[in-house]
Amino acid sequence: MITIHWMSIVEIEKMTVPERLQAIELLWTSVSRSESQVSSPTWHGDVLNARREKVESGKGVFLSLQELRDRLKKS
């Protein structure tokens, strides 16, 4: 288990990439356990509703994982 005290960006940059990723994972786990304290912005709900409506109306377009990867490479 990593114990993190208040750190500066310089100290964080001294960490290896795997250490930084582990720190991110630990932070995310901590935040996700406090979901009642984290409110999602209204626009998140708006986006989800618009996507649901698109799917329900038959206009939703789904990509395979490979299609998504190809699209991301192009952007």
Report whether pLDDT(71) > 90.
yes
What is the DSSP-derived secondary structure letter of residue 15?
A: S
Same domain, 3 and 26: yes
Domain of residue 27, residue span = 1-38
Are 59 and 30 in a shared domain?
no
The per-residue pLDDT for 57 is 97
73: pLDDT strictly greater than 70: yes
Asked if 4 and 25 sit in the same domain, the reply is yes
Structure tokens at 41: 């912005």
Count of structural domains within the chain: 2
**d(C-alpha 73, C-alpha 15), whole Å:** 28
Q: What is the pTM of this model?
A: 0.49
**Alpha carbon distances (Å) from 9 to 6, 23, 29, 40, 74:** 10, 13, 21, 27, 32
Asked if 1 and 30 sit in the same domain, the reply is yes
| 4-56 pLDDT tens trace | 667 788 999 999 999 999 999 999 999 889 878 888 899 999 999 999 999 99
